[in-house]
Amino acid sequence: MRLLSVRLIISLIVGITLVSLAFSYYEVRSEKRGLTRDLERRAEVLAESLAGNIEPHLAKGSQKELQRIVERFGNRQHLDGVAIYNQKGAPIAVTTGLAHRLPDQPVVVAQAVSKGQGGGQFVHLDHSYVHIYAWPLHQQDQIVGALAIVHDASYIKAQTIQIWRESFLRDLVLVLLISSITLLIVRWSIVGPIAKAAQWMKALRTGKGSVTAAVPDIDLLRPLAREVETFARSLSAARSAAEKEAQLRDAAESNWTAERLSVHVRNRLAESRLFVVSNREPYSHTRRGRSLEVVVPPSGLVTALEPILRACDGTWVAHGSGDADQETVDKHDSLRVPPEDPRYTLRRVWLSKQEEEGYYFGFANEGLWPLCHVAHVRPLFRASDWEHYLHVNQKFADAVLEEMAGTEHPFLLAQDYHFALLPRMIKKKRPDARIAIFWHIPWANPEKFSICPWQRQLVDGLLGADLVGFHIHSDCNNFLQTVDRTLESRIDWDHFAVEREDHRTIVKPFPISVAFDEIQGDGVGKESIYTEKTALLRELGVNTLFLGVGVDRVDYTKGIQERFRAIERLLEKYPDYLGKFTFVQIGAPSRTHIKRYHDLLGEVEAEADRINWRFQTGKWRPIIFLNRQHSHKEIQRFYRTADLCMVTSLHDGMNLVAKEFLAAREDEQGVLVLSQFTGAARELRDALIVNPYDVEQVADAIRFALEMEPDDRQNRMQRMRKVVKENNVYRWAGNLITELSEIRVEKPGHSEANGNRVASAI
């Protein structure tokens, strides 16, 4: 209540002060305007009068008489002096004491001579504020000079300052009186009733009071109190209904939402906590000038896992990569996120440039990435990179173990190929932990994976997890076959599990997806889509009938060059599309300081330029390559307006671009051309499935997409959107947590050292 009183008084003081200042400002401005107009009128009248006396003597050339005239008029009130100038701006006669203060030729004097009319100007002369009025002097209808009347204008400022002073004192007294009276009224009539109302409302909000209790006897706030009582009843009923609905949804097979996922996770984790490990952090801090800016990466992983961590107050361990990340953490390298509503902990792990270069860019992206993708790029394995990879995995494992201290039966979700060794490191120290790792990229067949000099260590590290997840079933097969050829173990092919050193690891596919409802468009109609497409083409500077789009990182696995060659073949084979079809490739530069990626960016640009040079005419180009980062909002415009979207990856674990495109097409239009080598091709059967290496087939698919009947196009889109909506990213996360929660793990206190590992249902 005291804070309320202080705020009310401060608001009142500020309000009265602002109003008073506004009136005072208006008063001062009016007074100043009046004094200024009066001075200008007096100067004009005096100038006209003096000009009649000066012009005859000017014609005679009597400089002595002219000096006498200016001296005689230089002693009037507020008049600093008079000056007479010839046609060239040189002074002829100037009042004593004014000559050294005036400039050689005031601007108004030159204007009076050139324009033939009088004019005034306020200026500062030797720290004095004066008004100079110039009047042209004539001789036989010719302008032969000018007269300058200089008035002291400092009295105008003095009078305005006096008005401000008087207004301030008056307003101060007024504010003090009104504030004192208001404070008494607040204390006697408002603070008490508000305190009673606040206590009653708090009891209703926290559930400690009954909504059926009598309304407090507060005469002043009785109407508000009764409305709050009604609102409290509605809120209580809504909470109960929402909880029941969430429980029903958890038991039934309906669409998954962030809310349903939160309830599901709370039920599965019970009293335990969830820990997530990933290379990319969900929030980073960067410095913009003197301020800090929070950056949220456009990641489906963040969308999927945040509801889980919020529901169980979990911890996310990630690499602190922002240039201001260290400024925002506490002594434990942690902070609470999201910034606007802290619900879980972000623990940042710091890596040196050498560690990041060796672990991430080296072993992970020059070694494992090309190894696991069929993209005909030779993987590079260096012993130094492996040492960094091993060291960084241990550094993350140590951070996770620190965060897990004091938590019984923790859940851990490790993400991607950056942390293949981490599950075994954690399991050795915390056998009671339930550990899952999701491998977001494909898994190579055993023959290809054997290229890696450290394949045994990688596979053994992954088998430290209780659950290993991939996007599709064939990757699970490849992994189990690799295990079979690499390590001594027993594989249960019926249940897709591996038994090794008294530990069981389940291997299952969990096809990841997108947050369907969050990606959907704005419910715009066909007319609005047409308008948006027209505006987009105008911004791109092209005239075309059909628009295609591709959205990829510039990566050799994405088949961007193969895509361009298919467009070239389309225009060769079906020249009717010349001038009618334009393809926009949004290509975000990626890992460009790795030589292969740097070279690839130049190759893609060169290929686009070659095809454009061959076919472009006027304002039409067949390919527009936008090689910069685009925001989610910018990409959505292309998704909504494109006639087709091309996903021609040479090899991809899933490829979420295909699903994002479908989720964005609320108008149920557009065609998806999809590579058969993507995980998404297993789910999206109504896409035009192509072999990206077959240029003829892809070119024909583009033509078929552009000429597809509207009903066929809509039916295909409806079926694919249904698949993406039902199997969204929240279902993916829910299935992962469900599977992990049903795994039997060792009781705490049992370790490999005592040789007495006992499996127990937790």
Question: From the CB of residue 402, how many other CB atoms can be counted at a distance below 10 Å?
Answer: 14
- Tell me the sheet residues that pair with 759: 746
758 — pLDDT class (breaks 50, 70, 90):
very low
**Residue 294 in this model has a pLDDT that exceeds 50:** yes
The dihedral region occupied by 679, where left means phi > 0, alpha psi between -120 and 50, and beta the remainder, is alpha
Residue type at 575?
P
Nearest to 313 by CA among 438, 437, 407: 407
The model's pLDDT over 330-367, given as tens digits with 9 standing for 90+, comes to: 999 999 999 888 999 999 999 999 999 999 999 999 99
How far, in Å, CA of 112 to CA of 116, rounded? 5
Asked if residue 675 lies in contact with residue 552, where contact means CB atoms within 8 angstroms, the answer is no
Question: What DSSP line would sit under 615-650, residue for residue?
Answer: H-BTTB-SEEEE-S---HHHHHHHHHH-SEEEE--S
Q: Taking each helix axis as running N to C, give the angle between helix 191-206 and helix 222-251, from 0 to 180 degrees, rounded to the nearest 10.
A: 20
The DSSP code for 216 is P
Handedness of CA 553, 338, 319, 507 (dihedral sign): negative
How far, in Å, CA of 238 to CA of 260, rounded? 16
The dihedral region occupied by 660, where left means phi > 0, alpha psi between -120 and 50, and beta the remainder, is alpha
Buried b (16+ CB within 10 A) or exposed e, 239-274: eeeeeeebeebbeeeeebbbebbbbbbebbbeebbb
The dihedral region occupied by 552, where left means phi > 0, alpha psi between -120 and 50, and beta the remainder, is beta
417 — pLDDT class (breaks 50, 70, 90):
very high
167 — pLDDT class (breaks 50, 70, 90):
confident
The model's pLDDT over 656-684, given as tens digits with 9 standing for 90+, comes to: 999 999 999 999 999 999 999 999 999 99
pLDDT at 657: 94
- Tell me the sheet residues that pair with 132: 121, 150
Q: Taking each helix axis as running N to C, give the angle between helix 258-269 and helix 300-312, from 0 to 180 degrees, rounded to the nearest 10.
A: 50
Determine how β-strand 623-626 pairs with β-strand 581-588: parallel
The model's pLDDT over 476-519, given as tens digits with 9 standing for 90+, comes to: 999 999 999 999 999 999 999 999 989 999 999 999 999 888 77
The answer to whether domain 2-158 and domain 521-727 are alike in fold is no
pLDDT at 467: 98
Residue 712: HSE in the Cβ half-sphere, 13 Å Cα cutoff: 11
163 — pLDDT class (breaks 50, 70, 90):
confident
How far, in Å, CA of 718 to CA of 192, rounded? 61
Question: From the CB of residue 56, how many other CB atoms can be counted at a distance below 10 Å?
Answer: 11
How far, in Å, CA of 227 to CA of 236, rounded? 14
- Tell me the sheet residues that pair with 760: 745
pLDDT at 215: 54
Separation of first and last alpha carbons in the chain: 50
- Tell me the sheet residues that pair with 588: 553
Annotated domain spans of the chain? 2-158, 274-295+317-350, 352-513+731-749, 521-727
The model's pLDDT over 558-606, given as tens digits with 9 standing for 90+, comes to: 999 999 999 999 999 999 999 999 999 999 888 888 999 999 999 999 9
Asked if residue 148 lies in contact with residue 83, where contact means CB atoms within 8 angstroms, the answer is yes
Determine how β-strand 503-509 pairs with β-strand 497-500: antiparallel
Asked if residue 608 lies in contact with residue 633, where contact means CB atoms within 8 angstroms, the answer is no
How far, in Å, CA of 575 to CA of 556, rounded? 29
pTM over 0.75: no
3.40.50.2000, 3.40.50.300, 3.40.640.10, 3.40.50.20: CATH of 352-513+731-749: 3.40.50.2000
**Residue 527 in this model has a pLDDT that exceeds 90:** no
Question: What DSSP line would sit under 721-745, residue for residue?
Answer: HHHHHHT-HHHHHHHHHHHHHTS-E
Asked if residue 529 lies in contact with residue 637, where contact means CB atoms within 8 angstroms, the answer is no
Asked if residue 335 lies in contact with residue 324, where contact means CB atoms within 8 angstroms, the answer is no
Question: From the CB of residue 309, how many other CB atoms can be counted at a distance below 10 Å?
Answer: 25
Give the CATH superfamily of 521-727: Glycogen Phosphorylase B; (3.40.50.2000)
Take residue 319 and report the two structure tokens written for it: 């690499």
Lowest mean pLDDT, pick from 171-180, 225-234, 608-617: 225-234
The model's pLDDT over 466-476, given as tens digits with 9 standing for 90+, comes to: 999 999 999 99
3.40.50.1980, 3.40.190.80, 3.50.50.60, 3.30.450.20: CATH of 2-158: 3.30.450.20
